[in-house]
Amino acid sequence: MARKEIFPHELIGEAIEVVSSKNKSNLGIKGKIIDETKETITVAQDNGKEVILMKQIITFKLVKSGKIISGEVIAKRPEDRLKG
């Protein structure tokens, strides 16, 4: 598996796939991030459903770049993360 890294950039609009989760029902969720808060990301799936995922319990892959991101590492407000 690719190494995990901090991802400081904007995530809204990125296509993702959940590759690891403490909640097994989240595994394999795919879609586009449409919203982000300090604790959650909201993913719009291809079937039209929206899923809210807790950052603290998931690891996901950015489909475009293949980067693996631990939600625990980015569990802060998007604007705070973008400041560096």
| pLDDT means over runs of 10, the chain (84 residues) | 55 95 96 95 96 96 93 81 62
Q: What is the pLDDT of residue 84?
A: 57
2 within domain boundaries: no
35 Cβ neighbours under 8 A, 6+ residues apart: 12, 41, 42
67 within domain boundaries: yes
69 within domain boundaries: yes
Q: What is the pLDDT of residue 4?
A: 44
How buried is residue 2: exposed, middle or buried, by Cβ count under 10 Å (0-12/13-18/19+)?
exposed
Q: What is the pLDDT of residue 36?
A: 92
Report the distance separating Cα 72 and Cα 59, nearest Å.
8
47 within domain boundaries: yes
3 within domain boundaries: no
5 within domain boundaries: no
Which domain covers residue 24, as residue numbers?
A: 15-83
The verdict on pTM exceeding 0.75 is: yes
Q: What is the pLDDT of residue 81?
A: 65
For the chain, what is the domain count?
1
Residue for token pair 């998931």: 58
Q: What is the CATH number of the domain that holds 70?
A: 2.30.30.210
58 within domain boundaries: yes
Looking at residue 27, its amino acid is: L
